[in-house]
């Protein structure tokens, strides 16, 4: 059997079943696993498949939901980096959706072992890329624009969880009006998340600090930690610090 033949067959199998085992292929084609591994490596380099421990995965399904240009990524990355430090092994972490949360998801250390729970499709998707993280998706009717599960069932489910920490990507925060948003269903979900978590962390780019939307989620004193891309002692954050909120 020619090398190219073999690789064509492998590609075929991979795309057929979404995954293949080196051992299996080796047996099927009567060549050593070494050869298979070299084939897989070669094909992976050409971008045809994704090589993993023990075999290979199809590339087609892997690329999906995410990746699209995000507004002020740099700031959000800064925020996410600070947030990551709050997560420790074994924690139950509840998160909302939103682009800042997605950045957080991407920056989680590879060896972190924790359980992440979210009603957001995109966040859930990102979490599944981390091998050591257990991901729980909160299901229910999906909100079309936020792409997160909303509704009574989702809320009930969230309230059943006792999370160690909750990360909220927020749209507007104001010292008087508190946390606000513009989608009724999302507000309900965030309320539930806050209620059921021991510690609440609000993530927001400084642009959104001291702005207000139509619907109230909660007053500022219900959040424990506020993270922006600014240094903790920046002037605009002083009022929040005075209210007893920890700034990172």
Binding interface with a copy of itself (CB under 8 A): 2-5, 7-8, 11-12, 15-19, 21, 47-48, 50, 52-55, 57-62, 64-65, 68-72, 98-99, 119, 121-122, 124-125, 127-128, 131, 134-142, 144-145, 147, 149, 154, 157, 171, 182, 207-208, 213
**Strands 225-227 and 114-118, sheet pairing:** unpaired
Residue 182 interacts with DNA (CB under 7 A)? no
Backbone angles phi, psi at 133, to 5 degrees: -100, 130
Which CB sits closer to a copy of itself, 91 or 246? 91
State in angstroms the smallest separation of the CB of 11 from a copy of itself. Answer: 7
Q: Which residues contact 69 (CB under 8 A, 6 or more apart)?
A: none
Contacts of DNA in 120-149 (CB under 7 A): 131
3-state DSSP call for residue 182? coil
Give the binding-site size for DNA (rule: CB under 7 A): 23
Residue 53 interacts with DNA (CB under 7 A)? yes
Residue 162 interacts with DNA (CB under 7 A)? no
Out of 25, 55, 96, 200, the residue judged to bind DNA by CB under 7 A: 55
Residue 19 interacts with DNA (CB under 7 A)? no
3-state DSSP call for residue 120? strand
State in angstroms the smallest separation of the CB of 242 from a copy of itself. Answer: 26
Measured between alpha carbons, how far is 96 from 170 in angstroms, rounded to an integer?
9
The H or E element containing residue 73 is helix 73-84
Backbone angles phi, psi at 199, to 5 degrees: -135, 135
Q: Which of 236, 182, 241, 239 is nearest to 205 (CA)?
A: 236
State in angstroms the smallest separation of the CB of 3 from DNA. Answer: 4
Site string for DNA, 78-117 (x = CB under 7 A): ----------------------------------------
Measured between alpha carbons, how far is 52 from 191 in angstroms, rounded to an integer?
40
3-state DSSP call for residue 232? coil
């Amino acid at each position: 059997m020619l090398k190219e033949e073999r690789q064509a067959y492998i590609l075929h199998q991979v795309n057929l079943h979404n995954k293949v085992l080196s051992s299996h292929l080796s047996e099927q084609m009567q060549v050593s696993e070494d050869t298979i591994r070299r084939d897989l490596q070669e094909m992976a380099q050409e971008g045809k498949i994704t090589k993993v421990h023990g075999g290979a995965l199809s590339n087609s399904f892997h690329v999906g939901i995410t990746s699209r240009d995000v507004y002020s990524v740099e700031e959000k990355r800064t925020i996410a980096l600070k947030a990551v430090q709050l997560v420790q092994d074994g924690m139950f972490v509840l998160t909302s959706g939103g682009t800042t949360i997605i950045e957080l998801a991407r920056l989680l250390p590879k060896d972190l072992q924790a359980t992440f729970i979210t009603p957001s499709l995109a966040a859930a998707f990102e979490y599944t890329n981390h091998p050591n993280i257990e991901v729980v998706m909160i299901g229910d009717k999906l909100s079309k624009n936020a792409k997160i599960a909303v509704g009574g069932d989702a809320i009930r489910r969230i309230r059943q969880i006792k999370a160690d920490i909750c990360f909220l990507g927020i749209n507007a925060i104001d010292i008087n009006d508190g946390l606000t948003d513009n989608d009724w269903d999302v507000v309900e979900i965030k309320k539930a998340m806050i209620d059921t978590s021991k510690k609440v962390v609000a993530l927001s780019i400084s642009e959104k600090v001291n702005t207000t939307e139509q619907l109230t989620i909660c007053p500022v004193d219900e959040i424990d930690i506020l993270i922006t891309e600014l240094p903790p002692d920046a002037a605009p954050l002083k009022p929040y610090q005075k209210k007893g909120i920890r700034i990172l």
